[in-house]
Amino acid sequence: MKTKNTNHGSNNHNTKIRNRALVFRLICTGENVSRIGIARQTGLSKMSISNIVAELIRDGFVREQKESPSKLKKPSTGRTPVVLVPDCETYAVIGLYISRDYAVSILSNLKCEILSEVKCNFTIEETNSTFLNKITGITREILSTKRAAGKKILGIGVSCIGPLDNKKGIILQPPNFFHLSSIPIGQWLEKKFGYPVIVDNDMNASALAEKLYGKGRNISNFVYVGVTNGIGSGIITNDTLYAGEMGFSGEIGHISINYEGPKCDCGNTGCLELYSSIPEIVKQAKISLEQGINSALKEYDFVQWGDIVRCAMEKDMLALNIIDRLCMYISIGIVSMINLFDPSVIFLGHDIAIAGRIVTEKMESYIKERTISRKYKEVPVQISAFKDKAPIVGSAALVLNQLFLGDGFEEGH
Ligand SMILES: [Zn+2]
């Protein structure tokens, strides 16, 4: 991600690009957007907005909606304002989500909606080159789908497990990832496909999707917490993703909750992730079943997270107890994040999202008792707008966010 240099001045050219990008963002991420509405929101003159919108229409980024939505109230005087929408026929974005077990490539429109999706699984024998070939394969496949035909691709976003060098686009050495290391995925994809590539960790990508297109659109400070094979977070402060120095921020899974606990790969002891990742929860369920605890989970040959959630919804005591313990542990990590960043909301995504209110209600009650600010405000826990698909949607959001920062509008467009 690009870092902001506070010493950077702004000349007319930069201001023009920034304003254009801002108007484009409001049209892509808003609903019932009109020229007059943008002028009100941005404080820019009606004349400037008209000029920018004319340019965006000329370049195929935006179009006027023919049919006016019935939701839009007709003003008592004058005409109904024309609604502006992104031109989803001309441009599209490619996204790649790389998890520990599988990868997904998507084609997304400018509203961050998934148009098509291709998945591949990893096997235990992956090497750097088999891995890169699989990624190339699913990217090629998505580009050859009907929905991609004739569309101009604005870039490829890679939402990926860490650690990463996100500036150079290199996957460093993720734990439990076939001993792969130093994979130059950014450069590789750029060379193969010729589009700009943005690489970031899947938690940051998910937080960006929530901020631009999800429930966080009007929230300046929030934390997205993703629970899957590991636990991580993406932090939005003052409407901006907190990127840190090298992209290692938000590692909530490596907050120690027991300094005498087991040693973690990261070097610390008793990390949250060691007690409450999804595989750890599944393991706990299996141990309980082996101990003879009665539960509907006995019906399943290979218990998975989805089975635990299903049984908990049917009030199975073992499943409920396991999820309760998961929520208790994760809440300890979230309380630390709340005390550090003072967010308005916590959004939960990745695999944990399928549990819905079972987890949000429990977490809220744990958090309520333990934060410094508890007497003054409550921090709600909500499921991400994109649920367990947040990191997939996030891959496209990485490219769109770059456009909204002004990149891609400099030359040619
Ligand atoms: Zn750790």
pLDDT in tens, 283-322: 999 999 999 999 999 999 899 999 999 999 999 999 999 9
Name the burial class of residue 3, with classes exposed (0-12), middle (13-18) and buried (19+) by CB atoms within 10 angstroms of its CB: exposed
Q: How wide is the angle at C-alpha 10 spanned by C-alphas 7 and 16, nearest 5°?
A: 150
- Three-state secondary structure readout of 221-260: CEEEEEECCCEEEEEEECCEECCCCCCCCCCHHHCECCCC
Residue 246: phi and psi, rounded to 5, are -125, 5
Pick the closest to residue 221 from 394, 337, 350 (CA basis).
337
Cα–ligand 1 centroid distance for 257 (angstroms): 10
CA Rg, the chain, in Å? 23
Do residue 226 and residue 371 come from a single domain? yes
Do residue 41 and residue 115 come from a single domain? no
In a domain, 361, yes or no: yes
Q: What is the pLDDT of residues 335-359, one digit of tens each?
A: 999 999 999 999 999 999 999 999 9
Q: How confident is the model at residue 412 (pLDDT cuts 50, 70, 90)?
A: very low
User: Which residue, of 86, 118, 141, is where some domain finishes?
Assistant: 86
Confidence at residue 77, expressed as pLDDT on a 0 to 100 scale: 61
In a domain, 75, yes or no: no
DSSP one-letter code for 104:
E
The answer to whether 395 and 161 have CB atoms below 8 angstroms apart is no
Cα–ligand 1 centroid distance for 253 (angstroms): 7
Do residue 177 and residue 310 come from a single domain? no
Cα–ligand 1 centroid distance for 269 (angstroms): 7
What is the arithmetic mean of pLDDT over 227-245?
94
Question: In the predicted model, is pLDDT for residue 6 greater than 70?
Answer: no
Cα–ligand 1 centroid distance for 219 (angstroms): 30
Cα–ligand 1 centroid distance for 272 (angstroms): 7
Q: What is the CATH number of the domain that holds 319?
A: 3.30.420.40
Cα–ligand 1 centroid distance for 302 (angstroms): 27
Cα–ligand 1 centroid distance for 299 (angstroms): 34
Read off the pTM.
0.93
Do residue 33 and residue 95 come from a single domain? no
Do residue 295 and residue 396 come from a single domain? no
Which residue range(s) make up the domain with 98?
A: 91-204+392-404
Q: What is the pLDDT of residues 10-20, one digit of tens each?
A: 678 788 999 99
In a domain, 3, yes or no: no
Cα–ligand 1 centroid distance for 278 (angstroms): 15
Beta bridge partners of 119: 104
Confidence at residue 162, expressed as pLDDT on a 0 to 100 scale: 87
* Tokens (6 digits) for 239: 């409407």
Cα–ligand 1 centroid distance for 271 (angstroms): 5
251 vs 301: CA distance, rounded Å: 34
In a domain, 209, yes or no: no
**Count of CB atoms within 10 A of residue 66's CB?**
8
Cα–ligand 1 centroid distance for 10 (angstroms): 42
The answer to whether 284 and 325 have CB atoms below 8 angstroms apart is yes
User: Which residue, of 86, 112, 142, is where some domain finishes?
Assistant: 86
Cα–ligand 1 centroid distance for 177 (angstroms): 16
Do residue 34 and residue 178 come from a single domain? no
Pick the closest to residue 405 from 267, 198, 100 (CA basis).
198
Q: Structurally, how many domains does the chain consist of?
A: 3
| Non-local CB neighbours of 49 within 8 Å, separated by 6+ positions | 23, 35, 38, 39, 42
Do residue 100 and residue 129 come from a single domain? yes
In a domain, 175, yes or no: yes
Percent of the chain with pLDDT over 70: 93
Give the rounded distance of the alpha carbon of 193 from its chain centre.
23
Q: What is the CATH number of the domain that holds 55?
A: 1.10.10.10
Cα–ligand 1 centroid distance for 91 (angstroms): 41
The answer to whether 178 and 410 have CB atoms below 8 angstroms apart is no
In a domain, 210, yes or no: no
349 vs 197: CA distance, rounded Å: 24
User: Which residue, of 86, 121, 152, is where some domain finishes?
Assistant: 86
Do residue 379 and residue 396 come from a single domain? no
Q: What is the pLDDT of residues 191-202, one digit of tens each?
A: 999 999 999 999
Cα–ligand 1 centroid distance for 294 (angstroms): 33
* Tokens (6 digits) for 90: 């001309």
Do residue 196 and residue 238 come from a single domain? no
- Three-state secondary structure readout of 357-413: HHHHHHHHHHHHHHCHHHHCCCCCEEECCCHHHHHHHHHHHHHHHHHHCCCCCCCCC
Confidence at residue 413, expressed as pLDDT on a 0 to 100 scale: 42
Do residue 171 and residue 60 come from a single domain? no
Cα–ligand 1 centroid distance for 333 (angstroms): 12
Do residue 159 and residue 262 come from a single domain? no
In a domain, 248, yes or no: yes
In a domain, 352, yes or no: yes
Cα–ligand 1 centroid distance for 273 (angstroms): 7
Cα–ligand 1 centroid distance for 306 (angstroms): 25
Cα–ligand 1 centroid distance for 256 (angstroms): 7
Q: What is the pLDDT of residues 121-165, one digit of tens each?
A: 999 889 999 999 999 999 999 999 999 999 999 999 999 998 999
Do residue 288 and residue 344 come from a single domain? yes
312 vs 333: CA distance, rounded Å: 23
